[in-house]
Structure 1
């Protein structure tokens, strides 16, 4: 029993004055005795070794965790060991899903722009991409090659230069004038988004697909949607309308 408990028991259960002779003991009613005990126990001397607020909160938290696991282990076949097996299985499953699916992709509306604030030519982006590829930095190589591809389309006037354009938007717009490459353009934009915003890692094959698409687009004639369509005799090879 603590000192506080001893004081409470003494003040609420024992007579306040000793008996003298045959006189009956002097007592007080229960409620005044309890109030007197509370006043006594409120003195700092009885609380010098009490745990602090943080320690009390921590004790309550660990008590709650212990009760939770005790209840869970009691309801799980195999008790505590069975609960441990289930927790490990769930953790392994979550890790496998994260590795397989990667981080959630952002919506196209909130995807940052394809280019930064430093305008560079398609040739400069290609050179940067090749430099990254030579060092097997495939994420950066994919990013720079996608920028080179889009910048080249802008330089050929197949895309209007527009700040803030995303890779998905560029692929959709380019697909309207280069319909033979619509699927490859869409895949290239997805590869760019995956390594830039999705937390995935590119490889050499992903970069080579983008580089091949970039080279193919250089030799692809656009399909114009206005009345003056491009014909082999009206425009030189590779020129924009």
Structure 2
């Protein structure tokens, strides 16, 4: 396959750089099991990449939980404070981010998480790595991001933070979620998808490139500096 060369790169965070999608599943299951419900992977697929409020609304509605959206969010935050500080890096994430940084490729973080949620996930173990991102956009707390994924807002807002205002086609997005891929494509950007292996193959068709792990990514495919080893 032929891909178009890019100059700038945007990263999603949850499930791509950090294993936090597993932690979200644990947190939500801990809450819904009190009411005899299951947080299924089918439901998770619909939610991955959404902003916090949209996620809470959908879980309460789909599982018919006897609690308000505000109560669900409050309970979620209690779970997150326990689980998120121990988030681990996904395979290849550190290597790829450091590679782009060392080769002066402009990189930005485009996460649906709020700033508070980001701090919980990153501060204890991963601050040094995430400090390599000079530009960060937090979808759930940035007023410029009017609509969450699958809308393109977060990627368009993130790209505007780069000096020189690159065009969408100059930006490459890394994503793990179907909603994120849809958002990147809607923004006019190419997108590399690293899906959960349980995601049905037909739901990955919109991605420019699908790989099993960030360890499998070859930067030169998109005109970026190759690994030297």
TM-score by length of 1: 0.22
Please state which structure has a larger fraction of its residues in strand: 2
Q: Which has the larger radius of gyration?
A: 1
Please state which structure has a larger fraction of its residues in helix: 1
Q: Which has the higher contact order (CA 8 A, sep 6+)?
A: 2
